[in-house]
Structure 1
Amino acid sequence: MFYEKAISAWREGTAYSRVQLVVQYFQSVEGFTEAEVIRKLPGTSNDDKSPLDWIMKLFGLFSGSDPFYAVIAYRNFKPIYYD
């Protein structure tokens, strides 16, 4: 992050409060699915069972010593019907 450009809620927040902030952003904008939170904390199992685990390991993003947080929501697209 660029410290001087980040909002104070992000700069002064904890990891948990930052995740909640992103979840609230998705909830406040119409047209997104319910946000899913993924947490990978140091010392937890790293079985490589999910595609996310495999990708993170491939890029070296999860060494086991740093926490990883992701908030995922999908855009709900309404079908357009043409007459």
Structure 2
Amino acid sequence: MANNKELPSREELQEEFRGAKMLRDIQRTLKEHGIDISIEAVKATVAEYERLHSEALSESDSQEVAIDGDMIKAPTSNDSNSVT
């Protein structure tokens, strides 16, 4: 099989496997709760969640995060007390 394409790296294959496993785990959990949907529907839902989440993060100028229901200021690289 002569193919000029470069084969994916081990890390890329592992990442793809973890992604597929995560989708199957989500599908299995939903099925246990009476929701029987396809892997493609799970994949589309996860993609939409990630898109909405990334938009919300990019629109936010706030450096506050919720921890146990309390909003706290997240350290930034400009803070003198930030841990690096």
Asked if these proteins are the same fold (TM beyond 0.5), I'd say no
TM-score (ref. length: structure 2): 0.26
Q: Which has the larger radius of gyration?
A: 2
Higher relative contact order (CA 8 A, sep 6+): 1
TM-score (ref. length: structure 1): 0.26
